[in-house]
Amino acid sequence: MSAFYRAVNWNRQKYLYDGALAGGVALYLAGFVGLSLRDPNATLETALIRGLGTGALVLLTVILAIGPLARLDARFLPLLYNRRHLGVTMCLLALGHAAFSLVQFHALGDVNPLVSLLTATADPARPGAFPFELLGLTALIILLVMAATSHDFWLATLSAPAWKALHMLVYVAYGLLIGHVALGSLQESPSPWPAALLLGSATAVFLLHLVAGWRERRGDRESAPGTDWVDVCRVDDIRESRARMAMVGGERIAVFRHQGKLSCVSNVCAHQNGPLGEGKIVDGCITCPWHGYQYRPEDGQSPPPFTEKIPTYSLRVFEGRVQVDPRPHPAGTRVEPVVIGTVDRRADGPAEDPFYVGYHPVPPPILGRAARNRTLALLCLTLLSAIGLAVFQEPAAPGTFEYGTVRVFRGQLREFPYPSLLVPAGGDDAGAARYTRHLLVAQGKHGAAGLARGMDGAWVEVRGTRIARPEREMLELGADAITETPPAPNVRMGIQIEPPYSLGVQRLTGEIVDSKCWLGVMKPNRGTVHRGCATRCLSGGIPPILMVSDSTGSTRHLLLTDAAGQPAPAWFRGLVGEAVTLSGEVIQDGDIAVMRVREVVVVGTR
């Protein structure tokens, strides 16, 4: 306890606890990111996003498990006492995950990233298009409010019942995060293990609370309800400096025995509703086992200068049994203790009856060893979690983005259906027909239609950053990156391409992706997780591509236009991230196929 508010009441235990916590977080992130980057196609940004997100979820699972574990085994109380440090750390990890995700998937588009997050095309009726990001955002807001009000200043300002109700929203946040993961990244996971880990952790938290609640419920059975005096227990059932708890008048009470006297108070601590009856009388005061708040047994008041109060009860001893009046006195009312005249020495030694007081610099040896062992076990579990989650994540897609490297290309610009640069492969007349096509896009989530307007057929010099997969090349252009220039001396004519010809009307099923991310800028670059980013890219003019896989597993890709063959990337943005069946005429235009979409047949079939 403290007579005034400080950011943290530091002592040796807190330094050790926070040191172990920081070490565990660093160990988890280093292990997860290190294992993720063993994949040659993985990126640091994606590894950090996944590491921060999974780390926050693992920490939240541990936080929710500590409460029932401390109810079942007092040796977990040192972890409970410092649980708020875990909560704030978990919130910071979740905030880092959200910030990196917002920048990667929603920044550099045609609207503010937060607006993009809230308005990205989605359909709650379809799992593949469910706005799972909003579940995570709602959970993050709850966690931020809880972290901001975690200090005792807010507990005193809001009152204990209101503060407790606010912080019970952690279970709502946990449920939202389970949905966020299940409807997000798990939709694209090829392995069943991430889903099994998520389900297993959620089930473990539920079962721990169920067992702890069932055990506590046994003590809530009231004897002879409605009578003037409620029989609680025999006098000899109460150990020295300890309490016996019971349900009296619909409220939990605790009868304490200390130095030959009995006193009865409410079992609910005024700080965070902790179970006072599981505490101990230390220095003449009832000491809460959760956070060390203290009350005098005779009047339920905290010793000066503290002002907390709890209700008191009258009691009597009749034929060796303790009986309590079910009518509580107002908080802080003095009730003369009942003298029994004997002091029970059976379990009053610190070695036999260890009790944890968080603000003491050194815990009892038994609890100290237990806390160290449990902390070590949690650190090992943390490392195993990092290994498991990193190993079972989906492999990164192939693709290269030469960020920071600007190359110069010379060739013939084609404006339709989407801007591209045809670069001759070399040779004279015959060589003019051989070329490499580079699709053109602007920086960020923007197409290059504005940069290439009116330059169809012109010979140009282009300065851009290469984005590529084996099957397709792309260049990201900055401002003023295109300059008209004469053709190379060995090219005597324009690049000759066979006239476009129709492959007929076809009905194809696949997934629509934005070409820039799919070629290598973003990983993941398709599926539910990438839906928000693809929506912004297509809205900004990035060429849409339909990925179609056949029965042999091979994949072909087609540029998409409207039925008249005109660019219409924004028209397809509501169809990204899930399977879709399109009908339209397929045109072979040189080295690329273009589908002029007439009809969207089916959306959301896997």
In a domain, 375, yes or no: yes
Would residue 358 count as lying in a domain?
no
- My answer on whether 447 and 379 are in the same domain is no
Residue 142 pLDDT more than 70? Answer: yes
280: pLDDT strictly greater than 50: yes
pLDDT at residue 274, as a whole number: 85
CA 286 → CA 301, 316, 331, 339, 540, distances in Å? 10, 20, 15, 18, 65
Verify that 405 and 387 share a domain, yes or no.
no
Q: Which of the 8 DSSP states describes residue 336? A: P
Mention every residue, 6+ apart, whose C-beta is less than 8 A from residue 89: 21, 25, 59
Q: What percent of the chain has pLDDT over 90?
A: 56
The pLDDT value given to residue 348:
47
All residues at 6 or more sequence positions from 70 whose CB lies less than 8 Å from its CB, including other chains? 76, 77, 79, 80, 290
Per-residue pLDDT of 93-124, as tens digits, reads 999 999 999 999 999 999 999 999 988 766 66
Cβ-based neighbours of 350, under 8 Å, separated by 6 or more: 364
Structural domain tally of the chain? 4
Confidence at 128, pLDDT banded by 50, 70, 90: low
- The CATH number assigned to the domain holding 304 equals 2.102.10.10
Indicate whether 350 pLDDT > 60.
Answer: no
| Helices and strands, counts by H and E, the chain | 14, 22
Comparing 316 with 81, the larger pLDDT belongs to 316
Same domain, 207 and 90: yes
Average pLDDT over residues 40-66: 94
Q: Is 173 exposed, middle or buried (0-12, 13-18, 19+ CB in 10 A)?
A: buried
Greater pLDDT, 354 or 505 = 505
Is there a domain that residue 95 lies in? yes
Does 575 have pLDDT greater than 60? yes
147-183 per-position pLDDT tens digit: 999 887 888 788 878 888 899 999 999 999 999 999 8
Q: How far apart are CA 545 and CA 235, in angstroms?
A: 80
Strands in 319-458 per DSSP E: 321-324, 338-339, 400-401, 407-414, 420-424, 435-442
Q: Which tens digits make up the pLDDT trace of 311-333?
A: 999 999 998 899 999 999 999 99
Residue 484 has what pLDDT? 93
Same domain for 480 and 518, yes or no, is no
Q: What angle do CA 456, 459, 462 make, to 5 degrees?
A: 95
Whether residue 197 sits in one domain with residue 74? yes
**pLDDT of 430 higher than 50:** no
Strand order in the sheet with 321-324: 230-234, 321-324, 315-318
Cα(315)–Cα(42) distance, rounded to whole angstroms? 69
Same domain, 122 and 197: yes
| Dihedral of the alpha carbons of 444, 448, 451, 452, in degrees to the nearest 10 | 160
Of residues 533, 529, 500, the one with CA closest to residue 514: 533
> pLDDT digits over 366-425, tens only?
677 777 787 788 778 878 888 888 888 888 889 999 999 999 999 999 999 999 999 987
- The domain that holds 420 is classified in CATH as 2.40.50.140
Are both 269 and 384 inside the same structural domain?
Answer: no
Contact 143, 571 (CB under 8 A): no
- In the prediction, which pLDDT does 254 show? 95
For residue 546, the enclosing domain spans 501-603
416 assigned to some structural domain: yes
pLDDT score for 497: 77
Total residues found in the chain within this entry = 606
Q: Identify the domain boundary among 339, 374, 408.
A: 339
The predicted pLDDT at position 543 comes to 97
If asked whether residues 50 and 192 sit together in one domain, one would say yes
483-510 pLDDT per residue, tens: 998 876 666 566 777 889 999 999 999 9
Q: Report helix angle 365-391 to 193-217, nearest 10.
A: 150
Using the predicted structure, report yes or no on whether residue 309 has a pLDDT greater than 70.
yes
- What confidence tens digit (pLDDT) does each residue in 210-248 have? 998 888 776 666 555 556 899 999 998 999 899 999 989
Beta bridge partners of 483: 461
Higher pLDDT, 482 or 305: 482
Is 590 a domain residue?
yes
Looking at the structure, tell me whether residues 160 and 60 fall in a common domain.
yes
Same domain, 275 and 324: yes
Contact (CB, 8 A) for 595 and 559: yes
Residue 496, domain member (yes or no): no
- 255, 124: one domain: no
Q: What is the mean pLDDT of residues 240-259?
A: 91
How do residues 536-565 score in pLDDT, each as one tens digit?
999 999 999 999 987 777 789 999 999 999
Helices (H), 258-364: none
Per the model's pLDDT, the better-predicted residue between 227 and 87 turns out to be: 87
DSSP of 474-519: EEEEEEEEEEE-PPPTT--SPPP-PPPEEEEEEEEEEEEEEHHIII
Whether 258 has a pLDDT exceeding 60, the answer reads yes
Q: Global pTM? A: 0.85
Kindly state the average pLDDT of the residues 193-212: 92
Whether the upstream peptide bond of residue 365 has omega within 30° of 0, thus cis, is: no
pLDDT at 346 (0 to 100): 57
Vertex 368, ends 1 and 348: CA angle to 5°? Answer: 75
Say yes or no to pLDDT of 3 above 70: no
pLDDT, the chain, mean: 87
Q: Name the least confident of 128-142, 329-343, 373-387.
A: 373-387
Contact 388, 54 (CB under 8 A): no
The answer to whether position 411 is within a domain reads yes
CATH number at residue 521: 2.40.50
Residue 273: per-residue pLDDT: 84
335 and 456 fall within a common domain: no
For position 427, what pLDDT does the model report? 46
Burial class (CB in 10 A: 0-12, 13-18, 19+), 504: exposed
pLDDT tens string 446-497: 999 999 999 999 999 999 999 999 889 999 999 899 999 887 666 656 677 7
Q: Per-residue confidence at 54, pLDDT binned at 50, 70, 90?
A: very high
- Residue 355 in any domain: the answer is no
- Residue whose pair of structure tokens reads 């060429």 in the numeric block: 543
Please give, one letter per residue, the 3-state secondary structure of 113-147: HHHHHHHCCCCCCCHHHCCHHHHHHHHHHHHHHHH
